[in-house]
Amino acid sequence: MKSGLSKILFLALVMVVNTGLLAADITVFAAASLTDSLKEIAASYGKTSGDKIVFNFGASSTLARQIEAGAPADIFFSADEAQMNKLAKQGLIDAATRKDRLGNTLVVVVPGDSSLQVQSASNLTNAGVKQIALADPQAVPAGVYAKAWLENLHLWASVQPKVIPTENVRAALAAVASGNVDAGIVYKTDAAISKKVKIAYEVPRADGPDIRYPMALVKSSQQPGAAKQFLDYLSSKEAGQVFTQYGFLLQE
Amino acid sequence: MSLLLKNILLPLADFTLEVNVEMRGRVTAVFGPSGAGKTSLLDLIAGIRAARSACIQLDETVLADTAKKISVPTRRRGIGYVPQDLALFPHLSVRQNLLYGRNARATNPLFAFEHVTEVLEIRSVISRGVTELSGGEKQRVALARALLASPRLLLLDEPLASLDVALKGKIIPYLTRVRDEFKIPMLYVTHDRFEARSLADEMVVLVKGKVLQAGPVADVFVRPANATVAKFVGVETLQPGLITNVNEGLAIVSVNNVTLTALAPAAPARAVFVCIRGEDVVLQRDVAVSSVRNRLPAHILSIRPEGALFRVELDAGFPLFALITRPACTELGLREGDSITALVKTPAIHLVPR
Amino acid sequence: MTALEWQIVGFTVWVAALSTVIILPFGLALAWLLARADWPGKSLVETIVTLPLVMPPVAVGLILLQVFGRHGAVGGFLHDHFNLDIIFTWRAVLLALSVMSVPLLIRSARVAFEEVNPRLEQIARTLGASGWRVFLTITVPLAARGIVAGMLLAFARALGEFGATIMVAGYMPGKTATISLAIYENVQLGQDAHAYRLLGVSVVLAFAAVWCSEFFLRRKKATA
Question: pLDDT digit string (tens) for B196-230?
Answer: 877 888 999 988 888 888 988 878 877 788 878 88
CB-based contact, C129 to chain B, within 8 Å = yes
- What is chain A's alpha carbon radius of gyration, rounded to the nearest angstrom? 21
| R_g of chain B computed on alpha carbons | 24
pLDDT at position B50 is: 87
> What φ, ψ does residue C94 adopt, rounded to 5°?
-60, -45
Instruction: Report pLDDT for C224.
Output: 36
Q: Please check whether residue C130 touches B, CB under 8 A.
A: yes
The whole-number pLDDT of residue A216 equals 95
The shortest CB-CB distance from A165 to any of C70, C85, C170 is to C170
Q: Which residues does chain A have with pLDDT short of 50? A: none
Q: What is the pLDDT of residues B315-341, one digit of tens each?
A: 999 989 999 998 998 888 888 998 999
pLDDT digits (tens, 9 = 90+) for A44-101: 998 888 888 999 999 999 899 889 888 889 999 999 999 999 999 999 999 999 999 9
By C-alpha distance, the chain B residue nearest C128 is B75
Residue A42 Cα distances to A50, A54, A188, A230, A237, angstroms: 11, 9, 22, 9, 14
Query: Which residues are CB-neighbours of A160 under 8 A, at least 6 positions away?
Result: none
Of B74, B86, B88, the CB nearest to C126: B74
CB contact under 8 A, C222 and B46: no
- What pLDDT was estimated at residue A74? 94
CB contact under 8 A, C127 and B77: no
Residues 6+ apart with CB under 8 A from C11: C90, C177, C178
CB contact under 8 A, C189 and A163: no
Residue of C nearest to B155 (CA): C126
Count CB atoms within 10 A of the CB of residue B217.
22
* Cross-chain Cβ contact B89/C222 below 8 Å: no
Distance (Å, whole) CA C150 – CA B190: 43
- Does C65 contact A179 at a Cβ distance shorter than 8 Å? no
Minimal Cα–Cα distance from A201 to chain C, Å? 23
Q: How far apart are CA B148 and CA B94, in angstroms?
A: 13
CA distance B128 to chain C (A): 13
Q: Kindly tell me whether chain B and chain A come into contact, counting contact as 3+ Cβ pairs under 8 Å.
A: no
Do A62 and C69 count as a contact with CB atoms less than 8 A apart?
no
Q: List residues in chain B touching C: CB distance below 8 A.
A: 43, 46-48, 73-77, 79-81, 83, 85-91, 100-101, 103, 130-131, 145-146, 149
Task: Tell me the C-alpha to C-alpha distance, in Å, between residue B263 and each of B245, B246, B292, B352.
Answer: 11, 9, 13, 11
**Between B47, B79, B88, which is nearest C224 by CB?**
B88
Averaged pLDDT for residues B253-274: 86
**B74 with C138: Cβ contact below 8 A:** no
Q: Across the A/C interface, how many CB contacts are shorter than 8 Å? A: 38
Nearest to B149 by CA among B207, B245, B55, B81: B81
Residue range B128-173, pLDDT digits in tens: 889 999 888 898 999 999 999 988 899 999 988 777 777 777 788 8
Q: 3-state SS string over chain C?
A: CCHHHHHHHHHHHHHHHHHHHHHHHHHHHHHHHHHHCCCCCHHHHHHHHHHHHHCCHHHHHHHHHHHHCCCCHHHHHHHHHHCCCCCCCHHHHHHHHHHHHHHHHHHHHHHHHHCCCHHHHHHHHHCCCCHHHHHHHHHHHHHHHHHHHHHHHHHHHHHHCCHHHHHHCCCCCCCCCCHHHHHHHHHHCCCHHHHHHHHHHHHHHHHHHHHHHHHHHHCCCCCC
Let me know: does B296 contact B312? Beta carbons within 8 Å.
Answer: no
Asked if C119 lies within 8 A of B131 by C-beta distance, the reply is no
What's the confidence (pLDDT) of residue C26? Answer: 94
Which of A139, A166, A180 faces C87 most closely, judged by CB atoms? A180
pLDDT at C221: 53
Whether residue C170 and residue A166 make contact (CB cut-off 8 A), yes or no, is: yes
Digitized pLDDT (tens) for each residue of chain C, 224 residues in all: 788 889 999 999 999 999 999 999 999 999 999 998 889 999 999 999 999 999 999 999 999 999 998 888 998 899 889 888 888 889 999 999 999 999 999 999 999 999 999 999 999 999 999 999 999 999 999 999 999 999 999 999 999 999 999 889 888 888 888 999 999 888 877 788 889 999 999 999 989 988 888 887 787 554 43
CB contact under 8 A, B101 and C127: yes
How do residues B103-137 score in pLDDT, each as one tens digit? 766 677 778 888 888 888 889 999 888 999 988 88
Q: Tell me, what's the pLDDT at C222?
A: 45
Q: Do C70 and A165 touch (CB under 8 A)?
A: no
- Name chain C contacts of B86, Cβ cutoff 8 Å: 224
**A138/C43 Cα distance (integer angstroms):** 48
Residue of B30, B62, B64, B66 whose CA lies nearest to B47:
B64
Q: Which residues of A touch C85 (CB under 8 A)?
A: 130-131, 180
Beta carbons of C22 and C98 less than 8 angstroms apart: yes
Q: Which of C128, C141, C224 sits opposite B149 (nearest CB)?
A: C128
d(CA A103, CA A33): 11
